[in-house]
Amino acid sequence: MTAPVEMVKQFWEGRAEAPGVGDSEVTHADVWQRELEIETILKYLGRGDRVLDVGCGSGYTTKRLAPHVAEVIGVDYSDAMIRRAVGSGSGPAVFAVKDVLELGPADFGVFDVVISERCLINLSGWVEQRRAIDNVATVLRPGGRFIFIEGGRQGRKNLNLLRTTAGLEAMPTVWHNVDFDEAETLAYLDRDFVLERRLPFGVYDFVARVVHPLLVAPDAPVYDSRINEIAATLALHVDAFPELSRVFCRVLARREAA
């Protein structure tokens, strides 16, 4: 069962205004996973790129990317998130309120790179997720890159199986997230995109979600820990345990027009 659209939006509006929560954590508490995602994205950006960050939230990633590209625009359907992004100092980044489900080239033109960093999992289901993917395709130039960093259903299932086998509890379901089925998603992406690179974060999940909790049990693991930092560094350089990756990350190129 999927969460009502307005309930999910209200959740993010509330998160944007939550006191005492920094920009790096307001949309995702796992700060080292966030760093891993940003460093991964940076590998696929060029100095001359025009970049769109869909579902940018508080703009934390957007601002981190800005010094490395020609132009970056962050969009989000939450007015409160965009107010926070602008209010905390946007620098060279530009922010605007825009729902990915209503996105088109008439809004901001065409881009060299579009990034979706845990944005589309917040849509109500596969029908809306496909619509969002279609809209992304319309704002990418032929040959442009779509950096797709979302939740993966199979990786989460496999990771939970390993956790329970090791005596840990399964990770709780995130009520407002709809993870992607790998085969179904790749088949749909193939309509408009060519797969360039598969980027599993399995090393990070194995250490941060299995080894770390086992080491500190019965205490709860802490996201901002040295072992998670090491795991993020390793995951940038080691392609292992792809079946354990909660993050479904793919770098795709927009197909040339027929």
- Contact between residue 224 and residue 197 where contact means Cβ atoms under 8 Å apart: no
The tokens of 92 are what?
């060279």
- Contact between residue 94 and residue 70 where contact means Cβ atoms under 8 Å apart: no
Give Cβ neighbours of residue 5 (< 8 Å, ≥ 6 apart). 124
> CA-CA distance, 10 to 159, in Å (whole number)?
30
CATH number belonging to domain 5-254: 3.40.50.150
Let me know the angle formed at the C-alpha of 80 by 74 and 86, rounded to the nearest 5 degrees: 50
> CA-CA distance, 206 to 213, in Å (whole number)?
10
The DSSP symbol for 181 reads P
Confidence of residue 71 (pLDDT cuts 50, 70, 90): very high
Distance of CA 75 to the CA centre of its chain: 14
In this prediction, residues 76-97 reach a mean pLDDT of 90
Pairing of strands 71-76, 94-97: parallel
The tokens of 56 are what?
């940018």
Predicted confidence at residue 2, as pLDDT, reads 64
The single-letter code of the amino acid at 91 is: G
Predicted confidence at residue 90, as pLDDT, reads 67
Say whether pLDDT at 4 is over 80: no
> CA-CA distance, 6 to 137, in Å (whole number)?
25
Predicted confidence at residue 59, as pLDDT, reads 95
Predicted TM-score (pTM) above 0.85? yes
What backbone torsions phi and psi does residue 244 show, to the nearest 5 degrees? -100, 0
The DSSP symbol for 156 reads H
> CA-CA distance, 256 to 181, in Å (whole number)?
26
Per cent of the chain over pLDDT 70 is 98
In this prediction, residues 78-102 reach a mean pLDDT of 91
Domain ranges of the chain: 5-254
pLDDT digits (tens, 9 = 90+) for 31-41: 999 999 999 99
